[in-house]
Every structure is written in structure tokens, then in C-alpha cells.
């Protein structure tokens, strides 16, 4: 599993900022990131979001105001957040959190491109769950 590589930087400090809706993470290599909850939610590593293979990703919308209601440790390699929209199936390895933090600009640009391509506004409600990948 990602995050078990001995060369992967590990978090030295994780702080949930509820009001500004960001997860602040400081890593062992000195990197420091403020990762918006929305970014975490739209790029959740769960099958519900990522699908079961390339091209099966489910575009997430309406997540601008999502909150982090819980953050549970998973072994020594990651955390499992629970979001205010009920999503709680993604396990965020240290490596994946580092990726989200270090690639934020690129990830936001890609998200905006996918929204435009789909002709869907960022704040649109998600379609009914029965139509989504995996039937979740």
C-alpha cells in the first residue's frame, strides 16, 4: 500500500481547521501544506470517486462547503476522513496526502477542466447515487 515506502515523508503534525476547511500537514522533509477539504473530497482515493479502473472516475460536484467531521488514523501509514456529506470510504496514505498538497495547483486546474468538459458547474448537486460507478 502507498505510504509504506521507507522514503515517503511522514506527517509530523496534522491540524484540522474547521472554520477555514483545510487540513494543515507538516511532513518530515519540511514540506508544509494546507489542503482544502473540498480538494480532499473531490480527489478521494475511494472506489466511489476513482472507480475501479481508468476512465471510471466519478466527477464530484457540490463539495465546496464540505466539512471534515472525523479523521481516524489507519495503521502507521494514513488517515481515513469522514466528510459532512457522509463520504467515509477513502483511506489517505501519507504519500497521497503529500501528493494532494504538492500538486494542488495542477489538481485544481484539472478539476476545472473536467467540470468545463462535462458542462457542469462546480456547485451542482451530485446526480442520484444509483447512476454512479459501483452503485454506491
The pLDDT tens digits of the residues spanning 19-71 come to 999 999 999 999 999 999 999 999 999 999 998 888 889 999 999 999 999 99
Backbone angles phi, psi at 95, to 5 degrees: -60, -40
| Confidence grade of residue 8 (pLDDT, cut at 50, 70, 90) | confident
pLDDT at residue 83 above 60? Answer: yes
Beta bridge partners of 11: 27
Strands 78-83 and 11-17: what pairing?
unpaired
Q: So what's the pLDDT on residue 129?
A: 59
Q: Are 72 and 80 in contact (CB under 8 A)?
A: yes
CATH 3.30.2020.30 corresponds to the domain 11-120: yes
Sorted by where each begins, the domain ranges of the chain are 11-120
Q: What is the CA radius of gyration of the chain?
A: 15
Amino acid at each position: 500500500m502507498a505510504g509504506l515506502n521507507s522514503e515517503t515523508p511522514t506527517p509530523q503534525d496534522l491540524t484540522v481547521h474547521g472554520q477555514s476547511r483545510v487540513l494543515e500537514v507538516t511532513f518530515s522533509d519540511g514540506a508544509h501544506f494546507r489542503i482544502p477539504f473540498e480538494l480532499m473530497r473531490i480527489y478521494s482515493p475511494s472506489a466511489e470517486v476513482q472507480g475501479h479502473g481508468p476512465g471510471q472516475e466519478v466527477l464530484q460536484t457540490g463539495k465546496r462547503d464540505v466539512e471534515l467531521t472525523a479523521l481516524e488514523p489507519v495503521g502507521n501509514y494514513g488517515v481515513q476522513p469522514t466528510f459532512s456529506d457522509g463520504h467515509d470510504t477513502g483511506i489517505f496514505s501519507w504519500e497521497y496526502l503529500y501528493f494532494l498538497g504538492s500538486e494542488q495547483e495542477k489538481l485544481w486546474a484539472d478539476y476545472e477542466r473536467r467540470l468545463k468538459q462535462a458542462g457542469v458547474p462546480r456547485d451542482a448537486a451530485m446526480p442520484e447515487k444509483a447512476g454512479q460507478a459501483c452503485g454506491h
